[in-house]
Amino acid sequence: MKLPTLREVATEARLLLIGIPVFLWTMIPIYHMFLFAISPKEDAFSGKLWPDHPTLHNFEIVFKQQHYFLRDFYIQFWNSLVIAASVGVLTLFIATAAAFSISRLKVPGGRAVMNLALFTYFIPAAFLAVPMYRTMGNYGLLNNHWSLILAMVTIASPYAIWVLKQASDKLPVELDEAAVMDGATTLQIFRLVYLPLMMPSLVAIGTYAVLLAWNEYLYAFLLLSNDREITLPVALGNFLAADDSPWELLMTTGFIYALPPAAIYYAFRRYMVGGLTAGAVKS
Amino acid sequence: MAITLSGDQAMPAPPLSSRLTPAQVWGIVLLAPYLLVFLAFVVYPVCYGLWLARAPANYVALYNDPIFARAAVNTLIFLVIGINVKMLIALFLSGFFAVQRTWIKWLSVIFILPWAVPSIPTILSVRFMLNPEWGVINHLIFSLTGDDGPNWLNDPTVALTMAIGVHIWKSLPFWTLILITGRLAIPHDLFEAAEVDGASWWQKFRYITWPSMQTLYITCTLLSMIWTLGDFNSVYLLTGGGPADLTHVLATLGIRYLRLDQLSLAMASIVCAMPFVLPLVYFMMKRLSR
């Protein structure tokens, strides 16, 4: 076995000197949350790095809704799920149609529409939220799931259109031309040629929209207020209202809430990183 | 002659549908859903909001509200310190993560977590770590020194610093990821040539990495400014704007007015940020349309 040279050891040590703080910085808040979730109430406050008696009791309380703050846990979880799924489906539908129209059908003014759409991101999120709240009130949608779904679709779509347009610009024009020669209608091209070829990007965008909606706090907190209509993050925020908040249960619920996006992210990472950062370098 | 003329005048313009090919009609139909969403949920709210903010009395009220002045200063500190520290770390880490090692690859997978998981549980976790009586940090201080630790979030300066820290924790992975992509796009033979010429680490950065990443870095910084202006969670969930409303930024202040049912004041506070936002938007739109 070849011994590493002094220079190699020094390089490795320097890398570790960066790597270890990065690891700790990233993991401490997440580990702290996990630690609370598996600690019995007395242990949670003792400041230990690992509880003396790790337990799943907190999860049991959450899943059986055995606390005042958790009495609507399942319905709130379900609300989060339905809203995230609807935002995913609706964003995919709207953005795919728009990207096909701009990139393949070359609709007049299409590029201008896309640039206008991206303008949405130049309005700071919390600034748009204020008039959006009033707008939803004017439309009579406050405290209705549709308000949050439509708000999130508004925010997810421009990016979705942009990514999908970049991806569909890469498909050769000859495909469409060949299909037209064979007598295919526009809709047939969309369904039979375009959609199958765009699958990887569609998965990335669907995942992106679902995660965005699932993780959203501000809009959910403004637009929904009824205990049985709110999503999980709003319920978690409501824990703060009380002085005697059961922190170990808050952290347990938070952990359960954070698991699906982390899992989805890792499951679709292959699509996400490639599909979503593709345009970054170009800009 | 007269007949021809009147005939010419009576000739109706061809109907819209006959001038467009079927593909173009489909193009308009397929673009319509997004246009509707954009008009109903971006254009209308923005115009309506500006209209609400029109009364000069709102600006007088803001001027007389000490919380607004404090929030404006806080926002500036948040932006100038938060973004520059974040982007510099991201630039540095993008170099670190570009190193080919198996453990660094694994670390980059973990590193993305703060961005992938929702903010609320993790920010609340930090908030509880900082709790003066029960938090793990003061526990550590007590067991090491025997003294009680400070009441972290009760000091506005410390509380705002912590909020900036939370913001960096949350958004650092995203910007690092973008800068890694930019760094990987630099042709590798440039570095090999520099290596042969005996260039130092600094020279390689100064003459190869920075010139090729400069534009991307500046674009990212500007975009991050706009997005950080809208960062409500980092401040609201950590400090709630407290103590005594001293740590508000414009994002949380607008929502605070909204919750107090002072919508026109909320909009006015946002309009006050426009002289700062509009040049950024102009610059970004120009970059986009190129």
pLDDT tens-digit readout, A220-268? 999 998 888 899 999 998 887 766 678 888 889 999 999 999 998 888 8
pLDDT of residue B14: 52
Q: Which of A122, A134, A234 is most worth mutating to test chain B (most B CB atoms within 10 A of its CB)?
A: A122
Nearest residue, CB atoms, B120 vs list A134, A190, A254? A254
pLDDT of residue B87: 96
Q: Are A229 and A83 in contact (CB under 8 A)?
A: no
Quick one: tokens of B155? 């000091």
CB burial of residue B240 (10 Å; 0-12, 13-18, 19+): middle
Q: Which residues from B are below 8 Å from A39, CB to CB?
A: none
Q: Of B42, B129, B228, which is closest to A154 when you measure between CB atoms?
A: B42
Measured between alpha carbons, how far is A119 from A154 in angstroms, rounded to an integer? 12
Those residues whose C-beta lies under 8 Å from the C-beta of residue B145, and which sit 6 or more positions away, are none
Query: With a cut of 70, which residues of chain B have pLDDT below it?
Result: 1-18, 289-290
Q: What burial class does residue A177 get, using C-beta atoms within 10 Å of its C-beta: 0-12 exposed, 13-18 middle, 19+ buried?
A: exposed
Greatest extent of chain A over all pairs of C-alpha atoms, in Å: 75
pLDDT digits (tens, 9 = 90+) for B36-87: 999 999 999 999 999 988 888 889 988 988 899 999 999 999 999 999 999 9
Report the alpha-carbon distance of residue B36 to residue B28 in Å, rounded.
12
- In angstroms, what CA-CA distances link A35 with A39, B165, B243, B250? 6, 21, 28, 34
Residues of chain B contacting residue A23, judged by C-beta atoms under 8 Å apart? 107, 110
pLDDT given for residue B75 in this prediction: 93
pLDDT for the residue numbered A273: 63
A36 touches chain B (CB under 8 A): yes
DSSP reduced 3-state for B201: helix
E runs forming strands in chain A:
none
* A273/chain B closest Cα distance in angstroms: 9
Among B28, B110, B281, beta carbon nearest to A122: B281
Option in A95, A97, A217 nearest B120 (CB): A217
CATH, domain A72-246+255-282, list 1.10.3720.10, 1.10.569.10, 1.10.10.10, 3.30.1300.10? 1.10.3720.10
Q: Using CB atoms and an 8 Å cut-off, which of residues 104-143 of chain A contact chain B?
A: 105-108, 110, 113, 115-135, 138-139
- Domains of chain B, start order: 67-289 (1.10.3720.10)
CB A108 within 8 A of CB B211: no
Residues B30/B31/B35/B36 CA torsion (nearest 10 deg): -10
Amino acid symbol at B265: L
User: Hey, is the C-beta of A33 within 8 angstroms of any chain B C-beta?
Assistant: yes
Report angle CA A196, A200, A201 to the nearest 5 degrees: 100
With CB atoms and an 8 Å threshold, state whether B37 touches A94. yes
Res A152 pLDDT > 90: yes
- Report the residue of B19, B28, B41, B263 to disrupt the A interface, i.e. the one with the largest count of A CBs within 10 Å: B41
Q: Could you tell me the two tokens for B125?
A: 């976790």
Rounded distance between C-alpha atoms, residue A240 and residue A251, angstroms = 12
Binary contact (B230, A102; C-beta < 8 A)? no
At A135-147, the pLDDT tens digits run: 999 999 998 999 9
Pinpoint the residues of chain A covered by CATH 1.10.3720.10: 72-246+255-282
Residue A216 has pLDDT above 50, yes or no: yes
Band (A6; pLDDT cuts 50, 70, 90): confident
Tokens representing residue B255 in the block: 């929502």
DSSP A49: S
Are the beta carbons of A150 and B41 closer than 8 angstroms? Answer: yes
Under a CB-based contact definition with an 8 Å cutoff, are residues A58 and A249 in contact? yes
In angstroms, how far apart are the furthest CA atoms of chain B? 109
Q: Helices (H) and strands (E) in chain B — how many of each?
A: 19, 0
Percent of the residues in chain A that have a pLDDT greater than 70, as a whole number: 92
Q: CA-to-CA distance for B267 and A133, rounded, in angstroms?
A: 12
Q: What number of CA atoms fall less than 13 Å from residue B259's CA on the CB side? A: 10
Helix, strand, coil % over all residues of chain B, rounded to 5: 80, 0, 20
Look at residue A243 and give its three-state secondary structure.
coil
Q: How many CA atoms lie within 13 A of B224 on its CB side?
A: 29
SS3 B231: coil
B-interface mutation test, from A15, A31, A127, most B Cβ less than 10 A away: A127
Judge whether residue A45 has pLDDT over 70: no
Whether pLDDT at A283 is above 60 = no
Contact with chain B for residue A98, Cβ under 8 A: yes
Q: What is the pLDDT of chain A when averaged over all its residues?
A: 86
Joined tokens for residue A267: 């499951």
A280: pLDDT strictly greater than 50: no
Residues of B in contact with A142 (CB under 8 A): none
Per-residue pLDDT of A82-101, as tens digits, reads 999 999 999 999 999 999 99
Reported pTM: 0.88
- Whether A186 and chain B come into contact, CB under 8 Å, resolves to yes
d(CA B202, CA A225): 54
The more confidently predicted of residues A12 and B15 is A12
